[in-house]
Structure 1
Amino acid sequence: MLHETSRRRLLTGGLATLAGLPFGGVGRASTLFDPVPPLIPIRALPDRIFRTTVCLRPFRAAGPRIESERVGRKLVVHNYGHGGSGWSLSWGSAEVAVRLAMQAGDRDIAVIGAGALGLTAALTAQRAGARVTIYTKDQFPNVRSAWATGTWSPDSRVAMANAVDAGFADRWEAMTRRSFATFQSYLGAPGDPVEWTDRYTVSDLPPEQARGFYRAQEVTGFLHMGDRIADISPRSQLLPPGSHPFPTPTVMRNSGMSFNIAMLARQLTADFLMAGGRIEPVTFFSPTELTRLKQKTIINCTGYGARALWADESIVPVRGQIAWLIPQAGVTYGLNYKSVSVLARRDGIVVQDMGPNDGFGFNDTNETVDIGAAFASVALLAELYERPVPAVSPRTDP
Structure 2
Amino acid sequence: MALFSSQVVHSAPFYDQLEAVQLDDAHFDAMGRVEAVGDIDRKVVCLRPMRKGLPEISAESLGEQVRVHLYGHGGSGWTLLWGSVDKAVTLFEEKAREHEFNDQVPITVIGAGCMGKAVALSLYHAGYRSIRIIAEQDSRIASLNSTGYLAMVSLATENETEKKEAEQLAIETLKGYQRVDSGTHPIINEGVHLIDVYSGLGKEGEEGPLETYTGIEPFAEAGLLPKPEKGVVEFSTGVSYPMQKFRTYFMDTAVIMAAFDRELRTRNIPVIHKTVDSLDDIKTNVVFNCSGLGAGKLNHDDRVYPNMGLLLDLAHQPLNKLDYIIYTRYQPPGAPKRSSPVDKADIYFMPRGGGLLGATFIDHNDGSDTALNEALFTRILRENRQFFGYPINPH
Shorter-chain TM-score: which interval? 0.7 to 0.9
Residues 1:42 and 1:243: Cα distance change in structure 2 (over 3 Å)? closer
Report 1:245-394 matches (<5 A): 247-291=239-283, 295-326=284-315, 328-329=317-318, 330-335=321-326, 336=328, 338=330, 340-354=346-360, 360-367=361-368, 370-386=373-389
1:243, 1:51 → 2: CA distance? 25
Higher helix share: 1
Say if 2:47 is the partner of 1:49.
Answer: no
Which amino acid in 1 is paired with 2:254? Answer: A
Q: Distance in 2 between matches of 1:344 and 1:136?
A: 28
- Post-superposition shift, 1:321? 1.0
TM-score, normalising length from structure 2? 0.75
SS of the residue corresponding to residue 355 of structure 2 reads: strand
- Mapping of residues 126-275 of structure 1, within 5 Å: 126-131=124-129, 132-139=131-138, 141-161=139-159, 168=162, 171-187=165-181, 193-202=191-200, 205=202, 214=211, 226=218, 230-240=222-232, 247-275=239-267
Greater shift, 248-257 or 71-80, is seen at 248-257
User: Which amino acid counterpart does residue 354 of structure 2 have in structure 1?
Assistant: G
For residue 201 of structure 1, give the secondary structure of its aligned residue in structure 2: strand
CA spacing shift, 1:283–1:156, aligned 2, 3 Å: same
Q: Please tell me the residue identity of whatever aligns with 1:172.
A: A
Alignment of structure 1 residues 4-19 onto 2, 5 Å? none
Decide whether aligned partners of structure 1 residues 81 and 327 sit closer, same or farther in structure 2, where only a CA change above 3 A counts: farther
Percent identity over the alignment is 22
Unpaired runs of 5+ residues, structure 1, are 1-23, 355-359, 389-398
**How far did residue 382 of structure 1 move?**
1.5
Map 1:56-71 to 2 at 5 A. 56-71=47-62
The CA deviation at 1:59 is: 2.1
**Aligned Cα RMSD in Å?**
3.4
Following superposition, the deviation at residue 191 of structure 1 comes to 10
Residues paired across the two proteins, number: 342
Most deviating of 313-322 and 268-277: 268-277
Where 1:375 maps in the other structure, the secondary structure is helix
The amino acid across from 1:119 in the alignment is: K
- Structure 2 partner of 1:110: 108
The alpha carbon displacement at 1:209 in A equals 6.0
**Amino acid in structure 2 at the alignment position of 1:36:** D
Deviates more, 1:225-234 or 1:117-126: 225-234
Contact 1:58 1:83 in 2 (8 A): yes
